[in-house]
Amino acid sequence: MLYIIDDADIEKIRECVEFYPVDGVTTNPTIISKQHTDFSSLIRSIREIIGKERMLHIQTTSDTAEEIIKEAYALKEFVGGEFYIKIPISPEGLKATMYLSKNGINVTSTAIFTQQQALIAAKAGASFVAPYVNRLDNIASDGVKVVEEVVELFKLHNISAKVLAASFKTVEQIHKISLTGCHSITINPELYEKLIYHPLTLYAIDDFEKDWETVYGTNSILGLLNN
Ligand code: E4P
């Protein structure tokens, strides 16, 4: 499963890449706007931190196929590396998706809320489809169920597009999504930290350190390796 960071905070991305396995970064206009900073230097810095091999998904802000296509080419040129243009699903978005996917630009179809939206986006040529788990849960729908069925439908119809589950608020949602066989998730850095947190793990590490130091008087093995 791919773990992608859904944030545009440079310091948080830097920390995540240093301490956690990270397969890429996703952004959207809301995430970028929160940084209140120059757009081009922000995405240039993100690319610099994550390198050319990790995926960078940047969302279009246009709503006509013609403008989306122009933005996609301009962004691909500017951002370089493994680039995906995120396009919210709509008739204009699908028109752009069909064109771009045939012309060598990777598309992530986003703002997906239903199984049929996901199927159609994949048929239009999207490489990833991004269903919004928590936003579905918030309207008393079932985000996990939607993702589960999209994963099943893609298998059933032999579709090569991948599911990039998005919009998470809890570790429980992530755990249930991983059980569906979903290919990838995008989460914010705070949630990534929570995925490895457990108080019993902290107690265990503390006990190991105390026991070792009681006998060897150091917390390192290195000074103890005598021939
Ligand atoms: C990612 O592609 C989405 O834009 C994002 O996960 C939406 O998350 P939110 O529902 O927390 O805003």
Q: How far is the CA of 14 from the centre of ligand 1 (A)?
A: 20
Written as six digits, the tokens of 64 are: 């006509």
Residue to mutate (ligand 1; options 132, 185, 192; most atoms within 8 A of CB) = 132
Phi, psi of 128 (to 5 degrees): -125, 145
Is 180 touching ligand 1 by the criterion CB < 6 Å?
Answer: no
Q: How far is the CA of 132 from the centre of ligand 1 (A)?
A: 7
Q: State residue 159's pLDDT score.
A: 98
Q: Is 86 a catalytic residue?
A: yes
Q: Which atom of ligand 1 is the closest one to the Cα of 130? A: 2
Q: State residue 64's pLDDT score.
A: 98
Global pTM reads 0.96
The per-residue pLDDT for range 136-150, each reduced to its tens digit, is 999 999 999 999 999
The per-residue pLDDT for range 193-226, each reduced to its tens digit, is 999 999 999 999 999 999 999 999 988 999 899 8
Of the chain, the percentage scoring pLDDT greater than 90 comes to 97
Q: Judge whether residue 93 has pLDDT over 80.
A: yes
Residue 214: CB atoms within 10 A of its CB come to: 8
The per-residue pLDDT for range 14-25, each reduced to its tens digit, is 999 999 999 999
Residue intervals in the chain for CATH 3.20.20.70: 2-189
Distance CA 16, CA 220 (A): 26
Helix-helix angle 91-102:65-79, to 10 degrees: 50
2-189 belongs to CATH 3.20.20.70: yes
Q: Which atom of ligand 1 is the closest one to the Cα of 110? A: 2
The per-residue pLDDT for range 145-203, each reduced to its tens digit, is 999 999 999 999 999 999 999 999 999 999 999 999 999 999 999 999 999 999 999 99
Distance CA 66, CA 73 (A): 11
Question: What is the identity of the amino acid at 135?
Answer: R
